[in-house]
């Protein structure tokens, strides 16, 4: 018992309140965060790029002269910024030499596009011979639609949590409403305490 | 051993004069503040300080918010947030982050530590910071605070896992030490934790996620036209508060892409009532017999057991119905801070037990040493150590008391123009005219004592 007081007294000068200065470093953006089962930025980019890769391989995109991407619906319970997925797919498809279809402005981007056209045509500030004209935008022949879902299950021991994510993508011919491509990509993450 | 007893007595005496005074009562401080607020003296309830004390900054930020001084409130909330950000960054991706509990706290008491906000207080700080930005008509900054909220929640989850692992290790260690095992059993027998073990408290998913914060996140993201982030806000709010029908309706509306028609406002009405519970330290003296665990000739036959209990605000009701353009609106309960505070104490039980055991071990060691000294000095030391121990053996009473006790919401779609809200408190009608001219707006009011404090309604959310 006496030694306990001595230990406590000695410990009293050894604060463990973390006096170290925080350090900042660049890290691998593709590094896997194995601490939780959340859908990470890396997961977002990976599934979107893989899906775009499969779409390119299918050759279906070349049946569309132009395409756009609708906002990916987030049906999980996590704060997932799905614009990262939309952008990753648009990047991969637009930069692929195997895809001849051109990317046209999406519904998310329409606000800024309309603002710019209005500024050029209605503000009175521009030489009208140099402005982009209203009513000349290219419409999308095909539309890519995506949805992210998740399903969480807990092991019988209560210590393991498994979250299964599914990224589902369809490509529609806008005029006909017909799906010309459908695919899904699954990711499962497990965490054990 | 005599000199160690003297060192402890000197340490106690010296720390009494410190900012983190181990024998001070935070409840007394908040009593005085609340009396001023109830009397309508918001300006004098607290005095401004330039301090890094996170609890002061949260309390004073709340007071300034009640007083509609949103920019000043943000200054104090930002100071409080900077203390928490360092902590949160250390726990963001690990279960081995920054621990603020010092060995001094174990030797003396928690008050010597800088205050570590409870999990729910950390998430409320971002929620109120976001609301201040909404009131200042800055949705982009509100969005930053909302994002911070769910990042901090992840850090809290990691930290709680660390605490759970630590508690398991402590319990194992204590069970192996005969004296500590005996003391633990005596201490637990004398805790009164009825309030924190109620079915309502146990029904909470956890102590740190507040349904209102997530609903507000959903609303702000919806107003910003980001349905993929708005939906999880509403979904998480629904997981935390499954009985609120408005939440499910909000999810349905997001799925159906329902937005206010041109010329109409989707108005979120936030009613805050009362204040969060204060914490009072309870101390009881418990007889012990160390001879039962093999300690010979022990002169110690008593230990102090201390534990926190909640003092719930009974001045205000949980909800107040109100009229909006003469139609009665019933607010829907969203968050009960009393339950969250109770759950935070319940989840902290193992640490409270460890603190009690450490205090008992300290008191037994110093008293035994004083007994061994003998004579007049021994008697004096014995009295000194027992008085010092009794002064120190207190539960931490600090908590963010100026948070509301209850948060209720409702949502109405109204045409642009002037509308009137009336709230009746203790027979007195408080009226506010509101101007609606944007698709999404938030009206917040706080009922505290006999007052209704409306926000100024300059929060005009963008399209």
> Is residue A152 domain-resident?
yes
> According to the model, what pLDDT value does residue B460 have?
38
Does the pLDDT value for residue B307 go beyond 80? yes
Secondary structure (3-state) at A4: helix
Show which of residues 238-267 on chain B sit within 8 Å of chain A, judged by CB atoms.
239
* Partner residues linked to B281 by β-bridges: B308
Q: Which of B103, B106, B159, B242 to mutate to test the interface with A (most CBs of A within 10 A)?
A: B103
Q: Quote the domain boundaries for residue A145.
A: 38-124+132-192
> According to the model, what pLDDT value does residue B175 have?
81
Nearest CA in chain A to B237: A77
- Longest Cα–Cα distance in chain A: 93
How far are the Cα atoms of B327, B420, B437 from residue B417, in angstroms, in the given order? 16, 10, 6
> According to the model, what pLDDT value does residue B176 have?
85
Q: What is the average pLDDT across B292-314?
A: 83
Q: Which chain B positions have a beta carbon within 8 Å of A77's beta carbon?
A: 232, 235-236, 239
How far are the Cα atoms of B171, B195, B295, B440 from residue A145, in angstroms, in the given order? 53, 51, 74, 27
Distance CA B214, CA B241 (A): 10
Distance CA A29, CA A44 (A): 12
- Longest Cα–Cα distance in chain B: 89
* Nearest neighbour of B361 by CB, restricted to A4, A18, A36: A4
Distance CA B25, CA B37 (A): 19
Average pLDDT of chain B, as a whole number = 86
**Residue stretches of chain A with pLDDT short of 70:** 1-24, 27-35, 193
Classify residue A60 by burial, with Cβ atoms within 10 Å: 0-12, 13-18, 19+.
middle
- Is A5 an interface residue toward B (CB < 8 Å)? yes
State the smallest CA–CA distance between residue B165 and chain A in angstroms.
10
- Is A26 an interface residue toward B (CB < 8 Å)? no
| A80–B217 C-beta distance less than 8 A | no
Is the torsion defined by CA of B80, B82, B87, B92 positive or negative?
positive
Distance CA B457, CA B460 (A): 8
Show which of residues 274-303 on chain B sit within 8 Å of chain A, judged by CB atoms.
295
CA dihedral of B347, B353, B358, B363, whole degrees rounded to 10: 140
Q: Which of A2, A5, A152 to mutate to test the interface with B (most CBs of B within 10 A)?
A: A5
Q: Which chain B positions have a beta carbon within 8 Å of A75's beta carbon?
A: 231
Quick one: which H or E segment has residue B237? Answer: helix B227-240
Distance CA B183, CA B191 (A): 13
Location of structure tokens 């209720």:
B408
State the smallest CA–CA distance between residue A70 and chain B in angstroms.
12
Secondary structure (3-state) at A33: coil
Show which of residues 120-159 on chain B sit within 8 Å of chain A, judged by CB atoms.
147, 150, 154, 157-158
| A38–B100 C-beta distance less than 8 A | no
State the smallest CA–CA distance between residue B235 and chain A in angstroms.
6
Q: What is the CA radius of gyration of chain B?
A: 25
Show which of residues 34-93 on chain A sit within 8 Å of chain B, judged by CB atoms.
35-36, 38, 71-83
Quick one: which H or E segment has residue B86? Answer: helix B70-91
pLDDT, tens digit, 9 for 90 and up, residues B52-102? 999 999 999 999 999 999 999 999 999 999 989 888 888 876 677 777 655
pLDDT, tens digit, 9 for 90 and up, residues B344-358? 999 988 888 888 888
| B93–A8 C-beta distance less than 8 A | no
State the smallest CA–CA distance between residue B368 and chain A in angstroms.
9
Distance CA B460, CA B434 (A): 11
Nearest to B146 by CA among B211, B220, B88, B80: B220
CB B104 within 8 A of CB B96: no
> According to the model, what pLDDT value does residue B92 have?
75
Distance CA A148, CA A164 (A): 11
In the 8-state DSSP scheme, what is residue B101?
-
Distance CA A51, CA A54 (A): 5
| B365–A79 C-beta distance less than 8 A | no
* E strand map for B164-263: none
Q: Residues, chain A, total?
A: 193
> Is residue A9 domain-resident?
no
Nearest CA in chain A to B146: A79
Q: List CB contacts of B72: < 8 A, sequence separation 6 or more.
A: B64
Distance CA B251, CA A163 (A): 21
Between B36-50, B226-240, B283-297, the lowest mean confidence (pLDDT) is in B283-297
Nearest to B278 by CA among B400, B116, B443, B428: B400
> According to the model, what pLDDT value does residue B384 have?
53
Q: For chain A, report the end-to-end CA distance as a whole number of angstroms.
A: 35
> According to the model, what pLDDT value does residue B429 have?
95
> Is residue A46 domain-resident?
yes
* Partner residues linked to A191 by β-bridges: A161
Location of structure tokens 């010296």:
B14
Q: What phi and psi, each to the nearest 5 degrees, are found at residue B113?
A: -80, 150
pLDDT, tens digit, 9 for 90 and up, residues B91-137? 876 677 777 655 556 666 667 678 989 999 999 999 999 999 999 99
CATH number of the domain at A117, please.
3.40.50
Q: List CB contacts of B280: < 8 A, sequence separation 6 or more.
A: B27, B308, B309, B310, B311, B397
Residue B190 pLDDT grade (very low, low, confident, very high; cuts 50, 70, 90): confident
Distance CA B443, CA B408 (A): 12
Q: What is the average pLDDT across B165-174?
A: 82
Quick one: which H or E segment has residue B322? Answer: strand B322-324
> According to the model, what pLDDT value does residue B318 have?
93
Nearest CA in chain A to B294: A1
* Domains in chain A, number: 1
Secondary structure (3-state) at B328: strand
Q: Which chain A positions have a beta carbon within 8 Å of B178's beta carbon?
A: none
The structure tokens listed for A22 are 């925080």
Neighbour order of strands in the sheet with B327-329: B327-329, B322-324, B417-425, B428-436
Residue B458 pLDDT grade (very low, low, confident, very high; cuts 50, 70, 90): very low
CB A192 within 8 A of CB A159: yes
Domain boundaries, chain B: 2-454
Between A18-22, A109-113, B184-188, B405-409, the lowest mean confidence (pLDDT) is in A18-22
- Is B328 an interface residue toward A (CB < 8 Å)? no
> According to the model, what pLDDT value does residue A126 have?
96
Secondary structure (3-state) at B18: coil
Q: What is the CA radius of gyration of chain A?
A: 25
Q: Which chain A positions have a beta carbon within 8 Å of B370's beta carbon?
A: none
| A79–B233 C-beta distance less than 8 A | yes
CB B181 within 8 A of CB B296: no
Does the pLDDT value for residue B403 go beyond 90? yes
> According to the model, what pLDDT value does residue B358 have?
86
> According to the model, what pLDDT value does residue B168 have?
83
How far are the Cα atoms of A48, A150, B208, B388, B444 from residue A184, in angstroms, in the given order? 10, 13, 35, 68, 44
* Nearest neighbour of A33 by CB, restricted to B1, B93, B233: B93
């Amino acid at each position: 018992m006496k030694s306990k007081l001595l230990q406590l007294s000695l410990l009293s000068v050894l604060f463990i309140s973390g006096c170290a200065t925080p350090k900042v470093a660049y890290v691998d953006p593709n590094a896997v965060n194995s601490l939780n089962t959340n859908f990470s930025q890396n997961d977002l980019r990976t599934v979107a790029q893989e899906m775009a890769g499969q779409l390119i391989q299918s050759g279906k995109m070349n049946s569309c002269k132009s395409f756009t991407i609708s906002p990916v619906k987030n049906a999980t319970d996590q704060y997932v910024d799905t614009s990262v997925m939309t952008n990753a797919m648009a990047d991969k498809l637009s930069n692929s030499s195997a895809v001849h279809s051109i990317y046209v402005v999406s519904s998310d981007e329409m606000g800024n596009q309309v603002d710019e056209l209005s500024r050029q045509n209605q503000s009175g500030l521009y030489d009208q011979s140099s402005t982009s004209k209203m009513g000349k935008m290219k419409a999308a022949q095909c539309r890519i639609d995506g949805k992210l879902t998740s399903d969480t299950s807990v092991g019988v021991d209560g210590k393991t949590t498994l979250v299964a994510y599914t990224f589902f993508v369809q490509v529609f011919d806008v005029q006909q409403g017909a799906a010309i491509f459908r695919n899904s990509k699954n990711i499962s993450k497990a965490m054990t305490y | 051993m005599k000199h160690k007893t003297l060192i402890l007595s000197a340490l106690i005496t010296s720390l009494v004069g410190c900012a983190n005074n181990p024998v001070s009562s935070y409840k007394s401080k908040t009593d005085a503040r609340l009396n001023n607020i109830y009397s309508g003296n918001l300006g004098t309830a607290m005095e401004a300080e330039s301090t890094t004390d996170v609890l002061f900054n949260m309390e004073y930020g709340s007071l300034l918010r009640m007083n509609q001084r949103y920019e000043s409130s943000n200054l104090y909330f930002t100071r409080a947030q900077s203390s928490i950000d360092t902590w949160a960054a250390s726990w963001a991706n690990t279960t081995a982050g920054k621990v603020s509990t010092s060995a001094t706290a174990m030797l003396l008491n928690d008050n010597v530590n800088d205050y570590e906000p409870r999990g729910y207080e950390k998430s409320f700080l971002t929620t109120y910071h976001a609301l201040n930005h909404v009131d200042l008509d800055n949705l982009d900054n509100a969005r930053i605070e909302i994002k911070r909220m769910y990042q901090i929640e992840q850090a809290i989850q990691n930290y709680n896992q660390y605490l759970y692992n630590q508690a398991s290790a402590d319990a194992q260690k204590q069970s192996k030490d005969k004296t500590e095992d005996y003391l633990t059993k005596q201490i637990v027998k004398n805790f009164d934790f009825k309030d924190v073990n109620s079915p309502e408290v146990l029904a909470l998913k956890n102590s740190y996620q507040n349904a209102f914060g997530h609903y507000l996140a959903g609303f702000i993201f919806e107003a910003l036209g980001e349905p993929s982030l708005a939906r999880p806000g509403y979904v998480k709010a629904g997981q935390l508060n499954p009985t609120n029908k408005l939440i499910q309706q909000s999810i349905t509306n997001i799925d159906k892409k329902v937005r206010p028609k041109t010329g109409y406002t989707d108005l979120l009405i936030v009613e805050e009532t009362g204040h969060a519970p204060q914490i009072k330290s309870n101390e009881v003296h418990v007889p012990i017999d160390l001879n039962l665990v093999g300690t010979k000739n022990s002169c110690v036959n008593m230990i102090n057991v201390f534990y926190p209990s909640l003092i719930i605000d009974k001045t205000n009701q949980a909800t107040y119905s109100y009229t909006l353009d003469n139609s009665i609106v019933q607010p829907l309960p969203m968050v009960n801070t009393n339950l969250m505070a109770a759950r935070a104490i319940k989840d902290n039980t193992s640490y409270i037990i460890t603190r009690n055991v450490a205090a008992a071990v300290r008191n037994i060691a110093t008293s035994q040493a004083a007994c061994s000294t003998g004579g007049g000095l021994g008697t004096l030391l014995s009295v000194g150590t027992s008085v010092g121990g009794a002064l120190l053996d207190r539960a931490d009473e600090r908590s963010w008391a100026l948070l509301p006790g209850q948060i209720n919401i409702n949502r109405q779609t109204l045409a642009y123009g002037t509308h009137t809200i009336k709230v009746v408190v203790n027979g007195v009608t408080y009226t506010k005219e509101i101007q609606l001219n944007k698709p999404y707006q938030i009206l917040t009011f706080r009922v505290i004592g006999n007052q209704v404090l409306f926000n100024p309604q300059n929060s005009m959310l963008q399209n």
